Amino acid sequence: MADLRAPAVTGSDRDEREDTAEADPLADPYSGESFRLFVQSVQDYAIFMLDPRGYVATWNPGAERIKGYRADEIIGQHFSVFYPPDDLRAGKPAHELEVAAEVGRFEDEGWRVRQDGSRFWAVVVITALFDDQGRLRGFGKVTRDVSERVRAENELVERRRLFFHLVEAQEAERRRIAWDVHDDSIQAMAAVSMRLQLLSGQVPAEHLPAVRALDTAVAETIGRLRDLVLRLRPPALDGRDLGDAVRAQLRQLSAQGIETELDDVELTDDPPPEASVTLFRIVGEALANAQKHARANRVRVRFRSIDHGTLTEITDDGVGTDVVVDPLGGGDTHFGLQAMRERAEAVGGWWELISEPGSGAMVRCWIPDGPGPARDERDGG
């Protein structure tokens, strides 16, 4: 059997390794020269040293790129020059060094100032450096400019906020149309029905079937208008009761012979109006699909409050599908499925369809309670 033990290290081996290390600094990755080469090659991070009082002792190209100072311009200056005036007044630079010296490191995320006075959003780590005797020798500081990430996050939050405003405007228009239909069209049709009923007692017998048929058609039209009003804007949504609004949807399915169930016991509180409306529309589309396309006999809706939002699951026992919803909107995706996904993602949530042919389907989505806060970019972001 082959000997798998590591070979013994001889004196000649050590000499050879030492000679190699002298010839190639990278042969020993922990040597000072190797570390210096690493730090000097980093462009995306400002990596530099501070003396125990906070004065800049070293400077790398990444620091020059991010902060704008050349090494000969910044070495010897106090690192507080990187902080905006409000942080200086609050004594933040000194506080950060105190914390780092006490606990070993300090982490922060906030505004910093470049040489030209412009601001950038930085992620900062300060590490205290102690010698073998436990004496503080200085600090290592690593800074990363994440302004583009913050700007993208703020733009996304703003788009979500605009979408919430759009939903609010759409629902206000739906409410107005629903009221107009209820107060005008339905009332007018109800008056026609009353007149037809009066007329049925006055017309000759041979005309009675025609009058009754007309009254029946008017009554059916009134029923369809009331269903339209309910779909346009359920009264329960005006009362900010998502559960009641969805129950009204489920009652319509039950009237058509579909067994329904609503589980909202884990909904700790009703979502805000805009989030409730988005969920209501997604549930409505999912129920319509279960009825028209899945040919389901049983549908279950479940709400749960989780992660500052609402998780919704709509499950049916229908024929299932093998449709894959393309997030880019391509392919043969059913319009209703794509609309549900777009509604959820537009407000910062997510949506998915879990289904296979013959095994039913589950629509799952999570909607946040609101668009979320944006960072204040102030005057220099």
Please enumerate in sequence order all residues whose Cβ is within 8 A of that of 341, keeping only pairs 6 or more positions apart, or say none.
Answer: 325, 327, 351
- Please tell me the predicted confidence (pLDDT) of residue 314: 94
β-bridge mates for residue 354, sequence order: 362
pLDDT of residue 379: 40
pTM for the model: 0.51
Predicted confidence at residue 137, as pLDDT, reads: 93
Under a CB-based contact definition with an 8 Å cutoff, are residues 274 and 235 in contact? no
Query: Is the Cβ–Cβ distance between 307 and 246 less than 8 Å?
Result: no
Helix (H, G, I), strand (E, B) or coil at 313: strand
- The confidence score (pLDDT) of residue 381 equals 38
pLDDT, averaged per 10 consecutive residues of the chain (381 residues), comes to 42 48 46 61 83 93 92 94 94 95 93 93 94 92 90 79 74 77 84 85 84 88 81 66 85 88 86 84 89 88 92 91 58 68 85 86 89 48 38
Which residue is listed with tokens 């149309």?
Answer: 177
Residue 4's pLDDT is 38
CA–CA separation, 56 vs 119, rounded Å?
Answer: 20
The whole-number pLDDT of residue 14 equals 46
Q: What is the pLDDT of residue 205?
A: 82
- Output the CA–CA distances (angstroms, integers) from residue 220 to 217, 226, 259, in the order listed: 5, 10, 24
Residue 332 has a pLDDT of 44
